[in-house]
Amino acid sequence: MPNVLASRAGEEAARKVSFGNFDIINDAEGRPISLGKGTFGRTYQARHRYLDTVVALKIITERYAADAGVRQRFLTEARAVAKLSHPHIARLYDFGEMDGVLHYAMEYCGGGSLADHVAKHGPFGLRHVVEVGQQIAGALKCAHNGGFIHRDLKPSNIMLTESKGPLFTKLIDFGLVQPSLPGATRSFSDDQSADGARFLGTPLFASPEQLREEPMDVRTDLFSLGITLWYLLLACPPENGSSAEIAASRLSSDSYASRLPGDLPPPFRDVLTRLLEKDRKNRFASAAEVFGAFNLCAAALGFRRARDYTDPTAELVDWDEAAVPEKDLSQSAVPEPIEVQTVDRKLDSEFRIFTRTNEDFTGLNYIAEPQDGPGPPVILHVLHPMLLEDSAAFERLRVHVAQLMVLNLPEVIRIEGIRAFSDYVSILLEKPEGNDLMSVLRNQRVVQLI
């Protein structure tokens, strides 16, 4: 292997290096731009010399270039990726050998890894964590349907296509992939690396059965997805310390459910808790189940549902408008209707109303403040009597209110609850500072966003 690819800071600037049709891209100081490294390979930014397209070029490390076992693993990884076609799995473009060094070119993702993003920007918001869950569950469904277990799913193996714009992830690094067909699973003792290391995954994101070196199935990847989502949500893994300390905690009987933040919305908590079950029998049975659970979770929280790219008919349906089966919406992913608090007095005995603002099909909005002393103003959404007479419609409204309260997003006005006074029934909401957008438009005709 050309020595320039192993250049370190302080060494002479590297000359341009090529592998087949791909030229390694150098930085301003003439050094190859490294995108990452693993036990058996390093990845560099490269450009196709004829098509002028940028790729991620993975090259087997010099130490293992002549090792037959590692060369076979490298080829197995490339063949696995080549057989998989999914928007959230990085595509393989080419495979080759130059001067005895194996290499392959795959789709370049300019946004860096999820691990990089957390290191630079801190934890992800709930909406984005759910989106990652949807996207990677879909990618795993494709891989598992193709007969492969990833075995090394972690934030550094999930890439962002762009650093800005809508979140779009790609699963990479199938270097530890193994067949997932019945009877084809192996234990780690059957899968020695070239330097004798038995554990080939990452302990921080490994399932208990991986750490015990037991035969694995697709549920191993589901546990690693759960730990990854934990990391994105909290910007740290559930365990820290040495590999032995991590393994001891993971192999204990303590549940992860009790350690999750108390303010997590129940629909998301339910999915994450089941992913993190230490006994795989209690996890989801498949990535397909996880994908469906995340879509139900998204629907309950008011987020977008994701298209199932493994379903040939999915392209015929608008993924943002796809129907969710009614039987599933009745399950725990949808919160119970919010309870109505009964108040044995009139509304104006508790609130002083300042002005009426607007009206919609469910009721009228008023700005008010508490009668019993100075306090922050509130919005009273007084419900129409006709809505209250329709019990089914009123129950649906109570479900929607419960969903908004579970959502707990800063962009959504916080709801205090529903109160039934002796004369009116009203939803209580916080009153944001400033004016509503329509008032601003009426007065100024234009809104400066920047």
Q: Which residue has the tokens 């800005």?
A: 164
Q: Do domains 3-107 and 340-439 have the same CATH topology?
A: yes
How confident is the model at residue 197, as a pLDDT? 32
* Alpha helices for 146-214 (secondary structure H): 208-211
Gyration radius of the chain's alpha carbons: 27
- Residues 69, 79: Cα–Cα separation, whole Å: 15
CA 334 to mean position of chain CA atoms: 20
Tracing tokens 């919160």 back to the chain, one arrives at 335
Per-residue pLDDT at 187: 32
- pLDDT in tens for each of the 450 residues of the chain? 444 454 443 344 446 788 989 999 999 888 999 998 877 889 999 999 998 999 999 998 888 888 888 888 888 888 888 888 999 999 999 999 998 899 999 999 999 999 999 999 999 999 999 999 999 999 999 999 988 888 889 999 999 998 888 899 999 987 665 555 433 333 333 333 333 334 455 688 999 999 998 888 899 999 999 999 999 999 999 988 888 888 888 999 889 998 999 889 999 999 999 999 999 999 999 999 999 999 999 999 989 899 898 876 665 444 444 444 443 433 445 678 889 999 999 998 999 888 888 777 788 888 888 888 777 888 999 998 888 888 888 888 898 888 888 776 667 788 889 999 999 999 998 888 766 676 666 666 665 654
Topology annotation, domain 340-439: Phosphorylase Kinase; domain 1 (3.30.200)
Write out the two tokens for 278: 């230490």
Q: How far apart are CA 341 and CA 335, in angstroms?
A: 17
SS (H, E, C) 37-66: ECCCEEEEEEEECCCCCEEEEEEECHHHCC
pLDDT of residue 314: 61
Given this model, what pLDDT does residue 298 score? 93
CATH for 3-107, among 3.30.365.10, 3.30.200.20, 4.10.140.10, 2.60.40.420?
Answer: 3.30.200.20
Name the one residue in this structure whose structure tokens are 């009597």.
Answer: 385
Q: CA 58 to CA 41: how far, in whole Å?
A: 6
CATH H superfamily, domain 114-329: Transferase(Phosphotransferase) domain 1 (1.10.510.10)
Contact 222, 140 (CB under 8 A): yes
CA distances from 366 to 99, 382, 383, 407 (A): 77, 8, 11, 24
* 3-state SS assignment for residue 4: helix
Reported as half-sphere exposure (CB side, CA atoms, 13 A), residue 228 has a value of: 31
CA distances from 383 to 273, 364, 389, 398, 428 (A): 37, 7, 11, 12, 11
Residue 16 tokens, joined: 């341009």
Q: Where are the domains of the chain?
A: 3-107, 114-329, 340-439
